[in-house]
Amino acid sequence: MAQKWCPGHQQHHPKEAFGRNSNTPDGLSTYCRVWSNKLVADWKKAHPEQARQQRKRYVQRVKAKNLQKRNGARA
Protein backbone atom coordinates (compact mmCIF):
# COMPACT_ATOMS: atom_id res chain seq x y z
CA MET A 1 0.00 0.00 0.00
CA ALA A 2 1.42 3.38 -1.02
CA GLN A 3 2.04 5.91 1.72
CA LYS A 4 2.27 9.70 1.83
CA TRP A 5 3.61 12.06 4.49
CA CYS A 6 1.13 14.32 6.33
CA PRO A 7 2.99 17.37 7.71
CA GLY A 8 0.15 18.02 10.16
CA HIS A 9 0.32 14.65 11.86
CA GLN A 10 4.05 14.28 11.19
CA GLN A 11 3.53 10.71 9.99
CA HIS A 12 2.80 8.62 6.93
CA HIS A 13 -0.76 7.65 5.97
CA PRO A 14 -2.15 5.54 3.12
CA LYS A 15 -2.67 7.59 -0.03
CA GLU A 16 -6.40 6.86 0.27
CA ALA A 17 -6.45 9.12 3.37
CA PHE A 18 -5.72 12.19 1.21
CA GLY A 19 -8.13 14.20 -0.90
CA ARG A 20 -7.51 14.97 -4.54
CA ASN A 21 -5.73 18.15 -5.64
CA SER A 22 -4.85 18.44 -9.31
CA ASN A 23 -2.46 21.33 -8.56
CA THR A 24 0.07 19.09 -6.80
CA PRO A 25 2.54 16.81 -8.61
CA ASP A 26 1.10 13.62 -7.10
CA GLY A 27 -2.52 14.77 -7.49
CA LEU A 28 -3.21 14.56 -3.74
CA SER A 29 -3.71 17.18 -1.03
CA THR A 30 -0.77 18.14 1.15
CA TYR A 31 -2.60 17.20 4.37
CA CYS A 32 -4.66 14.08 5.05
CA ARG A 33 -8.44 14.48 5.22
CA VAL A 34 -8.51 14.24 9.02
CA TRP A 35 -5.95 17.04 9.40
CA SER A 36 -7.61 19.16 6.70
CA ASN A 37 -10.94 18.87 8.52
CA LYS A 38 -9.22 19.92 11.76
CA LEU A 39 -7.70 22.98 10.06
CA VAL A 40 -11.08 24.04 8.68
CA ALA A 41 -12.81 23.53 12.05
CA ASP A 42 -10.09 25.55 13.83
CA TRP A 43 -10.40 28.37 11.29
CA LYS A 44 -14.19 28.46 11.61
CA LYS A 45 -13.89 28.61 15.39
CA ALA A 46 -11.34 31.45 15.21
CA HIS A 47 -13.31 33.38 12.55
CA PRO A 48 -17.02 32.75 13.22
CA GLU A 49 -18.33 35.83 11.40
CA GLN A 50 -16.27 35.16 8.25
CA ALA A 51 -17.32 31.51 8.32
CA ARG A 52 -20.99 32.53 8.61
CA GLN A 53 -20.67 34.96 5.69
CA GLN A 54 -18.84 32.39 3.59
CA ARG A 55 -21.56 29.81 4.27
CA LYS A 56 -24.27 32.36 3.43
CA ARG A 57 -22.62 33.16 0.06
CA TYR A 58 -22.30 29.43 -0.69
CA VAL A 59 -25.98 28.78 0.05
CA GLN A 60 -27.00 31.73 -2.15
CA ARG A 61 -24.88 30.43 -5.05
CA VAL A 62 -26.32 26.92 -4.75
CA LYS A 63 -29.90 28.20 -4.55
CA ALA A 64 -29.39 30.39 -7.62
CA LYS A 65 -27.81 27.51 -9.53
CA ASN A 66 -30.63 25.11 -8.61
CA LEU A 67 -33.26 27.68 -9.51
CA GLN A 68 -31.60 28.26 -12.85
CA LYS A 69 -31.53 24.50 -13.52
CA ARG A 70 -35.19 24.18 -12.56
CA ASN A 71 -36.27 27.08 -14.74
CA GLY A 72 -34.12 25.85 -17.63
CA ALA A 73 -35.78 22.45 -17.50
CA ARG A 74 -39.22 24.01 -17.94
CA ALA A 75 -38.28 26.04 -20.99
What pLDDT band is residue 72 in, cutting at 50, 70 and 90? confident
- Rounded CA-CA distance 6/39 in Å is 13
- Which amino acid does the sequence have at 38? K
pLDDT in tens, 25-48: 999 999 999 999 999 999 999 999
Look at the pTM and tell me if it is higher than 0.85: no
pLDDT in tens, 56-70: 999 999 999 999 988
